[in-house]
Structure 1
Amino acid sequence: MRKISRGGARQGPGWFARRWTAFWMRFSGPGPVGKLASRLAAWLAPPHMDQISLAYLNRRGYIDATATIYHSDLRLGQNVYLGPGVLVVETKGGGPISLGDRAEIHMHVLFETGRGGYMEIGPETGIHPGCQLKAYVKPIIIGRGVMIAANVALYSYDHGLAPDISICDQPLVAKGPITIQDDAWIGTGAVILSGVTIGEGAVVGAGAVVTKDIPAGGIAAGNPARIIKYRNELKNADKINE
């Protein structure tokens, strides 16, 4: 068996891949050249969740070459990750979208702002594949360290239902902004509707439809969502590694 020296191991495929990725990430960014650099950087990088590490090779973060940004006021913090197929859209009158430092936006997430709406996504918040966030009339504001699981929908507006106006012509209405405070967790497939505040550290179960506020530390489930427990009521036995 041939013995490989430390120097020889350093020159292996893994070393080349790391050097290749780090080189192209120096030029990564939202413009055409930056997106080409992102594509080349990702060529030898691991797929899906492991691509997040690319965002830490450049203060400008990582925007996948397949992400589409059709927005005049997208504000990115440091080391932000925008994954494959992310779509950022502005319609007439839409406000800015701000993503805090180290935010992670995974594949096929939709951000959309329209008249009267804007978004603020806090630092270290993760939004997982297939989510839709649409801010019209009122904003969507998400705090620090929030975890939003796959296929969650947030709509800060609704359509009017006046009987003398056709459905297609109904105006957009809103009860208020959507606010998700720090350290909250939104389960897979949940729907968060206009005017809702989800308190700090609260948990929303998978598939829940949230029409009313969830207090801090509350655990909510169902359609419509209701409080089933508070996190401070959990026994030690419920804690991982306890």
Structure 2
Amino acid sequence: MIIPTTGAAARTTSLRYEMTTAELENAGLLHADENTTISRFAVFVPADEFGDLRPVVIGRGAVINAFAVIHGGTRLGENARIEECAVVGKPERGYAVGQIHPGHGGSTAIGTDAVIRCGAVVYAAVEVGSGTVVGHHSLLRTGTRIGDESQLGHYLSVERGTTIGRQVRCSPGSHITGSTQVADRVFLGAGVRTINDKTLTWRDPHREPVLTAPRFDTGAKIGSGSVILSGVTIGAEALVGAGSLVTHDIPAGALAYGQPARVHGEAP
């Protein structure tokens, strides 16, 4: 183990401190309520890429299983569960969407009774609501917000700055692009693809990408295999049939399907 430093010394180092539960507690960086269960094989990384240290807070009855990696700044609500090999609170590092993410940590909140399934990766500065389940090997990028009692299926990608409401169902294998707005009670079928870029700009020194994410209003339902293009709004309670290519807004309460999708009446 490398003994952690604080203050200027901590901020000038790029070393990452991997600690056991006992080491984290001895360093004063673990705040755990009673009746918590932490596997002896769980790993804690309290320092970000700049050496800034953040404590880990674990609520009453929370469980952290073997080989889970918990980064500094993570807060687990009561009875939250982090399953095997999940990663929570990871600082983001690298180039994406016209900017470089240098590896700063942040506050990551996993709500009461929430579950992060095996192999899921939750980046720093993410909020997961109470009773929400994040599926196996799913990815939540920096700044994502998930409401209460939502169900995110396995192998799901949720990109930076996306907001997902309460009681939302996102089926397996879907991609939710950056800054997408998903309102309460939306249902996304399996393999749904969303797009926020009309120009496919990538590392162009002469211009920044202009990104406009789609929006899903309350109670909208999207059939499996559909593609929703940049800037499109799916209205409240609208229904988009499976395999559709949605290039324009769909009004509230409408039934739409096809390639491109067209309105064919009212949703049942």
| Common fold: TM-score over 0.5 | yes
Q: Is residue 227 from structure 1 mapped to residue 227 from structure 2 by the alignment?
A: no
Structure 1 residue 154: Cα displacement: 1.1
SS at the partner of 1:188?
coil
Distance 2:151 2:37 in 1: 22
Instruction: Kindly provide the amino acid, as one letter, of the partner of residue 140 in structure 1.
Output: T
**Alignment match of 2:62 (pick from 10, 20, 27):** 27
Q: Is residue 65 from structure 1 mapped to residue 130 from structure 2 by the alignment?
A: no
Assess, with a 3 A threshold, how the Cα gap between structure 1 residues 178 and 97 changes in structure 2: closer, same or farther: same
Distance 2:132 2:157 in 1: 16
Instruction: Kindly provide the amino acid, as one letter, of the partner of residue 172 in structure 1.
Output: P
Structure 1 residue 119: Cα displacement: 1.0
Number of equivalences = 175
What is aligned with 2:198?
Answer: 158
| Unpaired stretches in structure 1, ≥5 consecutive residues | 1-21, 41-57, 91-95, 162-166, 235-242
Deviation digits for residues 140-190 of structure 1 (CA, Å, limit 9, x no counterpart): 1011111100000112223358xxxxx87475233x331101111100000
Distance 2:248 2:236 in 1: 15
TM-score (norm 2): 0.58
What is aligned with 2:16?
Answer: none
Q: How does 1:1-242 map to 2 (within 5 A)?
A: 26-28=61-63, 32=69, 38-39=83-84, 59-69=112-122, 71-90=123-142, 96-113=143-160, 118-135=161-178, 139-160=179-200, 169=204, 171-174=208-211, 176-231=212-267
SS at the partner of 2:83?
helix
Q: Which moved more, 1:31-40 or 1:215-224?
A: 31-40
Greater per-residue helix proportion: 1
Assess, with a 3 A threshold, how the Cα gap between structure 1 residues 142 and 29 changes in structure 2: closer, same or farther: farther
**CA contact under 8 A between 1:105 and 1:127: conserved in structure 2?**
yes
Structure 1 residue 211: Cα displacement: 1.2
**CA contact under 8 A between 2:150 and 2:165: conserved in structure 1?**
yes
Assess, with a 3 A threshold, how the Cα gap between structure 1 residues 89 and 66 changes in structure 2: closer, same or farther: same
Structure 1 residue 62: Cα displacement: 0.3
Distance 1:151 1:88 in 2: 16
Deviation digits for residues 38-78 of structure 1 (CA, Å, limit 9, x no counterpart): 349xxxxxxxxxxxxxxxxx824000121112x22111111
Assess, with a 3 A threshold, how the Cα gap between structure 1 residues 63 and 211 changes in structure 2: closer, same or farther: same
Greater per-residue strand proportion: 2
- Identity level (%): 27
TM-score (norm 1): 0.64
Distance 2:83 2:131 in 1: 14
Assess, with a 3 A threshold, how the Cα gap between structure 1 residues 222 and 81 changes in structure 2: closer, same or farther: same
Assess, with a 3 A threshold, how the Cα gap between structure 1 residues 39 and 211 changes in structure 2: closer, same or farther: same
| Unpaired stretches in structure 2, ≥5 consecutive residues | 1-35, 39-59, 71-75, 86-110
